[in-house]
């Protein structure tokens, strides 16, 4: 079973991530889900925070929009708006 997580319009602030439990996703998961997120205008602060969030090197999303996680999932970044990312970058959400 494939698990997908869409994170749209979120800046990966460490305090907010802790509040919503996002800081535990990669620590508790048996296999990382596919994580797709938006970073409009490709802001490096957001890239670094996203990488930290998923236990990756800070350069991971600066150097690439697609990053493989060690435990078989992957992360994908879109630098478009949320609507454009859903239309042009990310796989269709299940159930469509």
pLDDT in tens, the chain (96 residues): 567 889 999 999 999 999 998 877 666 555 667 889 999 999 999 999 999 988 889 999 999 999 988 766 889 999 999 999 999 998 766 555
pTM for the predicted model, two decimal places: 0.84
The span from the CA of 33 to the CA of 72, in Å, is 8
């Amino acid at each position: 079973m494939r698990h997908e997580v869409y994170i749209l319009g979120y800046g990966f602030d460490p305090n907010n991530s802790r509040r919503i439990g996002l800081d535990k996703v990669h620590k508790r998961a048996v296999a990382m889900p596919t994580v797709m997120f938006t970073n409009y205008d490709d802001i490096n602060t957001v890239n670094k925070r996203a990488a930290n969030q998923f236990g990756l090197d800070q350069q991971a999303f600066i150097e690439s929009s697609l990053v493989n996680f060690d435990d078989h999932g992957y992360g994908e970044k879109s630098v478009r708006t949320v609507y454009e990312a859903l239309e042009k970058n990310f796989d269709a959400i299940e159930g469509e």
